[in-house]
Amino acid sequence: MANKSAPILKNTKISPDAEDGDGDEEIIIPSVPSRFAMLISDEENEDADTDNDEDTTTTISSSSKKKSNKKKVQSSKTKKEDDEIDLLLAAIESTSVSTKKSDNKTNDDEGQDLEDILKEINEKFDEKEAKKDKKKKAKGGVDAKTLSLMKEFQKKREEAILKAVQDEEEEMRLEEAFQKQREEKERAEKEKRDKKKQKEKERIQTKKKEGTYLTKEQREKLERARIQLQAAGIQVPERNTVDNGERPVKKRILYDDRRKKTPGNDTETEKQLGAKEESLKNNGEQESQSSGDESSSEESDQSDSSSEDDDKNQLTPHERVRNRLQRRHENCESRRSLEVLRAPVICVLGHVDTGKTKILDNLRRTHVQDGEAGGITQQIGATNVPLETIRERTKMCRKLISHEGEFIIPGLLIIDTPGHESFRNLRTRGSSLCDLAILVVDLMHGLEPQTLESIKLLTEGETPFIIALNKIDRLYEWKGDNEKNVELVIQEQGPNIQNEFDKRCNDVIVQFAEQGLNVALYYKNPDPNEYYSMVPTSAHTGDGMGSLIAMIIEKCQTTLAKCLSYTDELQVTVMEVKTIGGLGTTIDVILANGHLHVGDTIIVAGQEGPIVTQVRGLLMPESNRESRVRNQYQNYKTIKAARGIKIAAKNLEKSMAGLPLFVGRKEDEVDYFKNEIQNILKTALSSIKLQETGVYVQASTLGSLEALLEFLETSNIPYAGINIGTVHRKDIVRASAQLDRKPQWAVVLAFDVRIERDAQDYADSVGVKIFQADIMYHLFDMFLIHRERFKKEDEEKSRHLAVFPCKLRVLPEFIFNKRGKIICGVIVEDGFVKLGTPICVPSKEFIELGRVVSIELNHKPLDIARKNSEVSITIEPVGNEAPKIFGRDFDETDLLISKISQESFDVVKDHFRGDMQKSDWQLMIELKEIFNIF
C-alpha cells in the first residue's frame, strides 16, 4: 500500500546522502514544473505547510457561514481537494524515508509509482483551476483592476466633455465680439461715406452757383482745346481743380529762389486761355440747350444718376426706377413746346359697311379693302399721310385752315379701326392712342347700332371727333366734283337733291340730339366748341374729302395743339405680329410719342412671359401706303413720333399684340417694365371669367380675343378656355376635356391663327372639332351649323323620351272607337299635343290610356296640335297593357293630360327648349305639381 501511494517523480535523480552515516539512500527532486511551485516551495517545512493549510481551512469555513448553501458546498469541495494534496505531499515525504534502505530495483519501481502520483496531482490541480474559472464566469463580475480602469475612463470622458463645452462657449463669445466690432466698423464707414457724399454735393452746388461746374461734354471740349493750344505752341498750365469729384493737389510752397519765374507773355497766355475756356463754356451751354433727342436723353440720364446717388441707400430698386421715370416724365413735360407738333393719331369709327376703309383708300388713292378678308377691316392698320398729300388734297379749301393756311403738323397717322360692335375692345385700344376720331355715318341709314356704340366709346373717353356724313353720292341724280369744296358742290345740285339732302341731314341731327350731342354742318357750325362738325363726303367719288382733311388740320392746330406738342417720353403700342420673308417674325407698332433707335432694348408681352430683345431694324412702308399691305419697306436707324413702324428683332415669335411696348435704358428698368407688362396682362385676363363647360377660344391678339369673347357672350355661347397665338397640341388636349362633359362643346374656335399639323391630327383622332376663319362672322356661322347638327342628332336620340305638356277634353259627339285603339275628337285646352305623347286620366287614379299615334284635322294628318285646336286623335295601348274602354274606364267628363316624368322633363329642357312657349312652361310646372315631381 505504501509502495503504491509514494511513487518517485519522473525525471528525478537518486543519489546517496553524504551526511547519512548509515548508508541509507535519499530521493532528491531537482526540478518541479513551475505550476506546482506553490506546493513544493515549503516541502521541507511540513509544520509550516500544515499551519498554512489550517489557516486556509479556517478562512474558508468562516466565509462559508456568510454565504449561501451553494457556496458552502463549493468551499467544502475546495477544502477536500487541498487535504488530498497535503496527503500526497506527506506520502512523498514518507516515501523518501522508506526508500533510503531499498535497493536499485526497488527504487526504480517506486520512482514509477511516484510519477503516477504526480500525474494525478497535476490532473487535480487542472480541475481546480477550471472550476475557479467557471465559478468566476458564472458570477459575471469584474475584478478590481478592471473596475478601476473603467472608473478612470469614465472620469476622463467627463473631463473631455466639460472641456468641449467650455471651448464652444469661448468660441461663441469671440464670434459675438468680432461681429459687434465688424458692425461698428461698417457703421463708421457708412457715416464716412455719407459725410463724403454730402460734402461732394455741397461742392457741386457751390460750383453751380459760381458758374464753374462743367459737364462731362464740356470738360472733353476743354481738353480738346488745351491739346490744340499745345499743338500750336502755347503752353497751357494744368488745371488744379478737377470736376470729376477728385480733390486738387496742393503744391508745396517754395521760399527760396527755386520758384520758377513767370515769362513776360504768360499773362497774355493765361488771358487767352481764360477767354477760350469761357467761350467754350458758353458754346457748350448753347449746344446742350439746342441739342436733339440724344443729348436730352443723355442729360436726363445724368440727372437721373445724380439723383439716384442721393436716394440709393433709402429706396428699393423698384422705387428708384419709378422715381427716375417720374423725373424723366417731368423733364419731358417741361420741354414741350407749341412750336413743335407731332403728327396726330386719327381713328376711323363707324358701323359695318359705312365706308370707313373706302375713305382711307380715297385719302391714300389705294385699294386696301380689296385685299382684306371679306372686304371688312380685321386688324388695326396704320397709314402715314405726308404733308405733300395734305397740301394737294386741301388746295380747294385752304380758307378753312387758320394761320393763312399754314401747316404746322408734319402729317397724319390714321388708324383704320374696325367698326364692328364685336370689336369694341380692339377699338378701345385704338382710341387710347387716338388724338382725333372720324366718325363715319351713312347718310342713307343714319345712326346704326355700331354707330351708337362708337359714340358711347368716344364720349366716355372724351375723345374729340369729326363726323363724316358719307355716301352723299347715293342721292338721286347727284353730280359730284372732287376739285371743289363740298359746300359749293351741294349748292350746285338741283333743288330736289338739296331738299333730300337737307331732309336726311336733319334726320341725322335729330338722332344725334337724342343721344345728347349737338351737331351741325361744318359750314353752318355756330360754335365749334359746342357743336360737332359734320362734313358731307363720298368715298366713291371723292367729294368732300379735301374739306374733311382741312377740318382735321384746323382742329389739330388750334384746339388740340397742346396735346399734340412733341415729347420725348416714349408711347408705343403693339398692333400686330407678322412673319415676313427675309426678316422673320416682326411686330407692327404705333409710335405715338418719343423716338426709337436701332439697338434699343425693348420689352413686349409674350405668351410665356415678357420678351426682352434688341431692335435689329426699324422699317416703314413708303408714304401713302398702309402698313398691312406687303410692299417694299425702307430701313431707318432712328424714327421720331408719330409713325406706324415695323420692328425686326429676335425672339418675337410668341409676342402678343394689343399691349404696350417699353424701352429699358438701364438694367433695372428692364426688370421694372417686365413686371409692369405682367401686371397689365394679368389685369386684362383676370377680367375674363371662364365656365366649366364651353368652347375653347384661340385668337391672334389680345384685342381680338376679347372682341370674340364679347361676341360669344351676346350669343349665349359659353367658353371654358382661352389662348393667344398658334393652335398647338396642348390646346386640343384642354379642349378635349369637354368630351366627358358635353361633347357639343368640344370645339376650338381659331380666329385668324395658324394650326399646327400635329394639333389637327390629334383633334381628328379624339373627336375635337376645329373651326378656323379670318372673319369673325364666318367663324360664328360655322359653329352654329355644328351646334344645330349636334342638336338634331341629340333630338333624334332622345325624341322618344320627350313628353310635352297638354290638357285635352273629349268631345262626346265625336267618339269613333271606344275599345282597343280609342279614336275620338278632342279639344286642346292648354299646351300642345304631339305624336307619341302618353295620355292619362288624373281623376281615375292616373290610369294610363296609351300613346297618341295619330292626329288628324279634316282628314289631314298632323304632327302637332296647338291650344284651342279641335282634332281627332288615336290612342293606342302601350305594350301588353289591357285596353281601356271609353264609358267604363273614363268618360267625357274626365280631363286627359300628358303623363310626364323627371326624365322627360329634363329631356325637354335640354334638347327641346325651342319648341316650348312661356304658357307651355307654366303648364309643365302645373303638371309637375300634379305628379309630385320636384
- Please list the residues that pair with 749 across neighbouring strands: 697, 771
- Whether residue 328 contacts residue 570, with contact meaning beta carbons closer than 8 Å, is answered with no
What SS3 class is residue 768?
Answer: coil
- Whether residue 894 contacts residue 845, with contact meaning beta carbons closer than 8 Å, is answered with no
Instruction: Tell which residue, 626, 575, 632, has the closest CA to residue 358.
Output: 626
Cell numbers linked to 113: 509509482
- Whether residue 647 contacts residue 603, with contact meaning beta carbons closer than 8 Å, is answered with no
What SS3 class is residue 771?
Answer: strand
Rounded-to-integer distance, Cα 48 and Cα 235, Å = 129
Measured over the CA atoms of residue 173, residue 178, residue 179 and residue 181, the dihedral's sign is: positive
φ, ψ (nearest 5 deg) of residue 527: -150, 105
Measured over the CA atoms of residue 577, residue 582, residue 584 and residue 586, the dihedral's sign is: negative
- The 10 Å CB-count burial string (b at 16+, else e) for 688-707 is eeeeeebbbbbbbbbbbbbb
Plot region of 867 (φ>0 → left; ψ -120 to 50 → alpha; else → beta)? beta
- Whether residue 554 contacts residue 402, with contact meaning beta carbons closer than 8 Å, is answered with yes
What angle, rounded to 10 degrees, do the helices at 144-210 and 293-311 form?
130
- DSSP codes joined into one string, 334-403: HT--TTSBPPPEEEEEESTTSSHHHHHHHHHT---GGGSGGGS--S-EEEEEEHHHHHHHTTT-GGGSHH
Q: Which amino acid is at 357?
A: T
Rounded-to-integer distance, Cα 844 and Cα 890, Å = 7
Enumerate residues 6+ apart whose C-beta is below 8 A from 399.
405
- Whether residue 475 contacts residue 492, with contact meaning beta carbons closer than 8 Å, is answered with no
- Please list the residues that pair with 331 across neighbouring strands: none
Q: Which amino acid is at 182?
A: R
Rounded-to-integer distance, Cα 640 and Cα 293, Å = 9
What SS3 class is residue 874?
Answer: strand
Tally of CA atoms within 13 A in the half-sphere of 108 that contains its CB: 2
DSSP E strand stretches across 252-355: 345-350
Active site residue 403: no
Q: Which of 420, 728, 778, 786 is catalytic?
A: 420
Angle, CA 110 vertex, CA 107 and CA 113 arms, to 5°: 155
DSSP state of 460: H
Enumerate residues 6+ apart whose C-beta is below 8 A from 646.
578, 580, 586, 587, 588, 589, 618, 619, 620, 621, 627, 633
Rounded-to-integer distance, Cα 409 and Cα 392, Å = 15
What SS3 class is residue 705?
Answer: helix
The residues annotated as belonging to the active site are 420
